[in-house]
Amino acid sequence: MNIPLTPVRFLRYAEKQFPNKTAVVCQDQRFTYAQFADRAARLAGALRAAGVKAGDRVAFLSMNCHRLLEAYFGVLDAGAVLLPLNYRLASHELSYILNDSAATRLFLGQDFLGLVDSFRTKLTSVHSHHLLDATPQADWLAPQNYEQLLAAATPHRAEITSFDEDSLCELFYTSGTSADPKGVMLTHRNIYLHALHIALFHHTKFEDVFLHTIPLFHANGWGAAHTITLMGATHVMSPRFIPQEVFRLVEREQVGSLSLVPIMASALVNCPDRSKYDLSTLQWITIGGAASFPSLMREVEQKLGCKCFSGYGLTECSPSLATAELKSDVACEPEERYLLQSMTGYAYPGVELRVVDFEDQDVPHDGEIMGEIIARSDSVMAGYWKHPAATAEALRGGWFHTGDMAVVMENGYILIVDRKKDIIVSGGENISSLEVERTLLAHPAVYEAAVIAVRDDKWGEVPKGVVILKPGWAATEVELIEFCRSNLAHYKCPRSIEFCETLTKTATGKVLKKELRKKYGGVSGSLMRRQ
């Protein structure tokens, strides 16, 4: 008997088994699983009554709140596809995504009224704009807001066997550091199996209380929408990241775990109000979205009193691929432990990871030779929306090519050293731009640093540094290059340094190296390019 794998089953199970358990805490509101499921079913009923058809894309632009979480199930129960939008994107990016996906409906929080108003005339497919949380005042908004839609709706719960597990479930757009954002097509099966494997690994239980600190539209944030629901655990929504607010929620709701990006973790450990709160219920924190450092792991463990380890994932993989939670049979000193816990780590159950050279051969486990991380997993996307060529390229040979360059340690742990397109290939050697950037950042005068490849007649490519100095500090090009030479192998050192005032970044805070390459005549290097 094959029952379609769909995340809708998670909410059905929790509703049936734990109807009176607190499912969601959002500001001053609390919903049981019976209420959460009823609201999701009402959303489904409302969407169907409004004419939403199977496969339609329904977009949400919202801070973390219970309504957005309801959409993760209700939109699916209506037969539609959820399109959660990154509210940190610029208006031209949002209109691009809405038009590219041909979304028909947009639900938006009142905080984003001005933003949507700025691009709504450019939208080619969205015909209805629904406010989530306020009374519509403008004529371009649908007269009924989300709550009114739900109140008037007949709850709809689709028959589970009517789902096609291989059909599109969620559409997320990549942040587009190198090109236009691409829609990542995740199927019902992708999401279901991802959640099962991740919850299995982390021993998610009924008693757990999880704080949603990362926006749900973000790769690092959305997985918990499913893993927490499937075991009847409790979601606590955090609309904005404010350290004191995080601490307050941890104390009030007895939160056991949360996910952070490194900069959030730094903010928490450095918040002077920390000691005013009871954080004793915290069990573990996972850090992802950017490279971590052993010192950050140590600080979190010591100051917040819980386990802390890195995680690794990509939008294309639903998202989680690896974890650095210490394996139980590894005995080591604290400092080595923090080093291991800050790494990219090892594959979750259900995931196969390899690190391969340009001939798709596994690199040795020596911590030295770089290769690209490739992944095979139930959670790897069906493909990029309307980009068959990019899909074929990313999934060639039946493995997803992450574009992340890494080394493998003797113990099998993986450590990412750079994005593939940022690698500098100089005289036949691969140079991690991240490693050079870290070296530049270690100079006392350097505030920010980015390193790109520029062409060189002799070496093919050589590293070039782009640096912002700290206010009131000074340093010359020669001085910084010398500093690198005293800390790095000679061939890895920048041959030139440019000083600037700002570095253009994506909505998720990554430096847009393609802009730097355009400005300074850089090239996008990769091992593959050399074939």
Q: Are 7 and 82 in contact (CB under 8 A)?
A: no
Pinpoint the alpha helices (H) of 275-343: 294-304, 334-341
Q: Does 347 bind a copy of itself (CB under 8 A)?
A: yes
CA atoms of 402 and 360, how far apart (whole Å):
13
Q: Are 414 and 343 in contact (CB under 8 A)?
A: yes
Among positions 107, 173, 400, 483, the unique one binding a copy of itself when judged by CB under 8 A: 400
CA atoms of 120 and 59, how far apart (whole Å):
13
Q: Does 284 bind a copy of itself (CB under 8 A)?
A: no
Closer residue to a copy of itself in complex, CB, 7/522: 7
**Contact map string, positions 401 to 430, toward a copy of itself, x by CB under 8 A:** -----------x------------------
Q: Does 459 bind a copy of itself (CB under 8 A)?
A: no
Q: Does 377 bind a copy of itself (CB under 8 A)?
A: yes
Q: Are 265 and 287 in contact (CB under 8 A)?
A: yes
Q: Does 171 bind a copy of itself (CB under 8 A)?
A: no
Among positions 53, 92, 127, 205, the unique one binding a copy of itself when judged by CB under 8 A: 205
Selected range binding a copy of itself among 87-95, 190-198, 275-283, 333-341, rule: CB under 8 A: 190-198
CA atoms of 513 and 454, how far apart (whole Å):
12
For residue 328, give every residue at least 6 positions away whose Cβ sits within 8 Å of its Cβ, in sequence order, or none.
Answer: none
Selected range binding a copy of itself among 53-61, 302-310, 327-335, 358-366, rule: CB under 8 A: 327-335
Is the bond preceding 155 in cis, omega lying within 30 degrees of 0? Answer: no
What 8-state DSSP symbol labels residue 528?
G
Q: Does 380 bind a copy of itself (CB under 8 A)?
A: yes
Neighbours of 200 (CB within 10 A): 13
Q: Does 395 bind a copy of itself (CB under 8 A)?
A: yes
Torsion angle (degrees, nearest 10) of CA 510, 514, 515, 520:
130
Q: Does 196 bind a copy of itself (CB under 8 A)?
A: yes
CA distances in angstroms from 104 to 60, 129, 151, 329, listed in the order given? 11, 9, 22, 51
Q: Does 362 bind a copy of itself (CB under 8 A)?
A: no
Instruction: Determine the Cα angle at 251 with ends 248 and 252, to 5°.
Output: 80
Selected range binding a copy of itself among 76-84, 193-201, 286-294, 492-500, rule: CB under 8 A: 193-201
Q: Does 372 bind a copy of itself (CB under 8 A)?
A: no
Among positions 305, 349, 427, 521, the unique one binding a copy of itself when judged by CB under 8 A: 349
Closer residue to a copy of itself in complex, CB, 142/380: 380
> Six-digit token pair at 371?
């290769």
Q: Which residues bind a copy of itself (CB under 8 A)?
A: 1-3, 5, 9, 12-13, 16-18, 20-21, 160-161, 166, 189-190, 196-197, 199-200, 203-207, 230-231, 327-329, 346-347, 349-350, 352, 376-378, 380-382, 395, 398, 400, 412
